[in-house]
Amino acid sequence: MGSGSLRAWWAFDEGQGRATRENVSGVENAITYVFNDARYRPASDPMWRDGIRGQALLFDGYSTWVHHPLDSFETPTTAQTIAAWVAPRTFESGIGGQLSAIVNQHDRLAQRGFILGTFTHGAWSLQLGVGDDWLEVWCADRLLPRHVWSHVAATFDSVEGCLRLYLNGTCVAEQGCAPGKSLKPAVKDVLIGKHNTPVRLDHAFEANCFDGLIDELKIDASPWTPEQVRDAFREDVARFDGRNPAPDTHPRRSRYAGDMHRPRYHFIPPQHWMNEPHALLQFKGRYHITYQHNAHGPFWHNISWGHACSDDLVHWRDLPDAIYPEKDSVAPDGIWSGSANVDGDGNPVLFFTAGNNAMTPNQMTGLARSTYRDDGDPDLKRWIVHPSPVTTLDPAIRIMGQPLLPREFRDTYVWREGDFWCQLVGAGVQGIGGTALLYTSSDLVNWTYQGPLLVGDSRRYPLVSMMWELPVFLPLGKGKHIFLFSPWWAPGHPSAHFLKYVPYWIGTWDAASLTFRPDHAEPRLFDYGEHFTGPSGAVDERGRTIVFNIAQTKMDAQMAYDLGWNGNAGLPVVLFLHDDGELGVTPVPELETLHGEHLIALENVTVGEANAQLASVRGTLLDIRLAALVPGGESLGISVRRSPAGDEETRIGYDSRHRWLFIDRERTSLSANVHQRGVQGGFLDLGDNMLSLHTYLDQSMIEVYANERKSLTSRVFPTRADSTGLRVWGRPDAAIGRLDIWSMRSAWDDDA
């Protein structure tokens, strides 16, 4: 390792700005980053953190990379060493069979150049074109750890005929090759953090990017000896008492400061992609929630379980991922939806859908146990996954004489019933409809199939679909239970539009006979919007039946790329039965702790008088409560996210003639790329036309609760910065009994 052989060196010590200096050529390299020129928020620099020597650059997994031009780099030929400090946060699942590049200048088809990168579960590899061959050396047994600084080095020596990988100064992999052959340069620029030929996803994203910190990246034209690699590692860790330092890889919510669409008091991950929240659990007074999470970018891929906790269901604190895909585990390819509970010894447990693409179906029930009994950690940060699945699809099962769909078996829901446990798993019966398979157990590991809880008739009621995802079964009091699910139709099916709804039945559960008898044959719609899906729920220590959902964004891939996030939960709601036996739904009262200024408090005014007061009120984070007598045969409601001239607005209201609760999004956005349009709603008989309309507005989120009987979840994406106004609409002399509006604060301490 001599100074004359060094071909490139990125120290990443700038700590700010949108460029980094390559120290051998002296060239300033541009850093690509999604928020360099942001569309939906103020622009900001790439993310910098403390490194091994000075600063380090944090790569976000999909939009951050460094570009070094070909004409400023002399490619090594007879020998090469690449050395760097890396702290990965996540690993892609080998999309396209390609590495996630740490650094590369290669053309795999032409068998030219080189790439050093990571692979599934933390495997890593050096690959290069030598002579007429493409050579690869892999380390698949000494995996790179997540959220830990590791020193990696990769060498190629044409004289010796050898490729080697080193981890923290120790050789961990070696591959021989024919001596005397030189590395063939690729006619490409050097990219750090991004593959030269990435796989495209959803027309907007490019895969094979690195997620995590990189520091002190060097490319040398000599083959470092084992002693040189060891000495370089020891020199760097000497300043940390000989130990690898702990990296700051924690995502910061302040990254999204100024985002005009990102919710602030709804549950949302610190960054990137989220689908269903699930496994709600209150343990020792503290609420825990997990969620489907891709920490690598704002798109579906390589799902783990994100984790957060709260003392009140409203103020949340991010925790490390609870469980994630691991090599040689029950779930190497995905941790999909499930539930949580506490076992017979008082220890929290998670039940999840274990993804393993080597099996058919690739979905099973997995179990993970908290280490709380050993470490007493109330945050429940560590979980140990059971080594084998606890429930698998039995192809011999017949329901109504028909077999189950062979590849659909997922989304486990577990609850305790006296001295035994019950588990539901979503499935489908061929030619008939969706079902929830019921199992029982005395130990949470060994389960016995008992039959279907329910079977849907998809020909009579297309809403019930061919398969049921996310079955949830909860007590309502008064001797009744509610069964909710998300319908699933195969892509392209003519009834696939029903996937945007959540149906439910209310009925009587008999634990002795393990039977559920619905009170009504046809399922009912839980929510009248088109963004409430993926229900999950639990009973808390106060005995409340609480339900969460995933509030689908339904944005296109380019918008998700530009925003840097996709998906959030709906507000937690309490379910109960009204005296007439109908379902009641209301947001948890703890949300009032987020109240800021009481902006409006009006009583016994007309619509016209209310609007005179509303003229000076603006906001995108609001709690709005309207009580009014809707004139017979007329409509009344409130507009939110309204521009001064009304060219952008969203109208929420009640039509007394048709007994219809609705939201009108025809003018919600001036952008032709926003597809959240039309009028959504459903039947609501108020009888006396006394409307109690409770609306939560949180940037792009709108949740409406009418008379504690129906909810309507929606999303809006206005383009104008001044679309922040409010206006009551209806006959000007119509009577408003009460109008209260509060500003709302963020649910997150580190949310800018």
Summarize pLDDT for 258-316 with one digit per residue, the tens: 999 999 999 999 999 999 999 999 999 999 999 999 999 999 999 999 999 999 999 99
Q: Which residues contact 651 (CB under 8 A, 6 or more apart)?
A: 637, 638, 639, 663, 664, 729
What CATH number matches the domain at 3-238, 2.60.120.200, 2.40.30.10, 3.90.230.10, 2.30.180.10? Answer: 2.60.120.200
Buried residues in 143-161 as b, exposed as e (16+ CB within 10 A): bbebbbbbbbbbbbbbeee
Buried residues in 653-692 as b, exposed as e (16+ CB within 10 A): bbbbeeebbbbbbebbbeeeebebeeebbbebebeebebb
Fold of the domain spanning 441-587: Tachylectin-2; Chain A (2.115.10)
Summarize pLDDT for 579-595 with one digit per residue, the tens: 999 999 999 999 999 99
Burial class of residue 285 (count of CB atoms within 10 Å of its CB; 0-12, 13-18, 19+): exposed
In this prediction the pTM is 0.95
Q: What span, in angstroms and rounded, lies between the C-alpha atoms of 297 and 58?
A: 14
Asked if 611 contacts 626 with a C-beta cutoff of 8 angstroms, the reply is no
Average pLDDT, stretch 633-649? 95
Structure tokens at 396: 């011999």
DSSP state of 635: E
Average pLDDT, stretch 642-655? 96
Ramachandran assignment for 572, one of left (phi > 0), alpha (psi -120 to 50 degrees), beta (any other): beta
Please determine whether the domains at 3-238 and 593-744 fall in the same fold group of CATH: yes
* Residue with the two structure tokens 């951050």: 64
Q: What span, in angstroms and rounded, lies between the C-alpha atoms of 626 and 60?
A: 43
Q: State the DSSP H helix or E strand holding residue 178, giving kind and residue range, or none if neither.
A: none
Sign of the C-alpha dihedral computed for residues 745, 746, 750 and 752 taken in this order: negative
Summarize pLDDT for 197-226 with one digit per residue, the tens: 999 998 899 999 999 999 999 999 999 999
Residue 334 has pLDDT above 90, yes or no: yes
Other CB atoms within 10 A of residue 743 CB: 16
Summarize pLDDT for 168-206 with one digit per residue, the tens: 999 999 999 999 999 999 999 999 999 999 999 988 999
Residue 618 has pLDDT above 80, yes or no: yes
Beta strands in 311-399 (DSSP E): 316-323, 334-342, 348-355, 363-370, 383-385, 398-399
For residue 751, name the pLDDT band (cuts at 50, 70, 90).
low
Average pLDDT, stretch 387-392? 97
Strand 304-310 versus strand 47-50 pairing type: unpaired
Residue 69 has pLDDT above 50, yes or no: yes
Buried residues in 90-102 as b, exposed as e (16+ CB within 10 A): bbbbbbeebbbbb
Q: What span, in angstroms and rounded, lies between the C-alpha atoms of 216 and 313?
A: 43
- Supply the pLDDT for residue 494: 79
In words, the CATH class of domain 593-744 is: mainly beta
Asked if 356 contacts 385 with a C-beta cutoff of 8 angstroms, the reply is no
Domain boundaries, the chain: 3-238, 441-587, 593-744
Residue 624 has pLDDT above 90, yes or no: yes
Residue 750 has pLDDT above 90, yes or no: no
- Angstrom CA distances, 269 to 283, 351, 582, 733, stand at 21, 21, 34, 45
- Supply the pLDDT for residue 3: 57
Q: Which residues contact 474 (CB under 8 A, 6 or more apart)?
A: 481, 482, 484, 537, 538, 539, 545, 547, 575
Asked if 150 contacts 168 with a C-beta cutoff of 8 angstroms, the reply is yes
- Angstrom CA distances, 586 to 260, 279, 287, 601, 739, stand at 27, 20, 19, 21, 18
Residue 1 has pLDDT above 90, yes or no: no
Sign of the C-alpha dihedral computed for residues 493, 497, 498 and 501 taken in this order: positive
Sign of the C-alpha dihedral computed for residues 448, 450, 456 and 457 taken in this order: positive
Asked if 178 contacts 132 with a C-beta cutoff of 8 angstroms, the reply is no
What phi and psi, each to the nearest 5 degrees, are found at residue 527?
-135, 140
Q: Which is more confidently placed, 131 or 609?
A: 609
What phi and psi, each to the nearest 5 degrees, are found at residue 31?
-105, 115
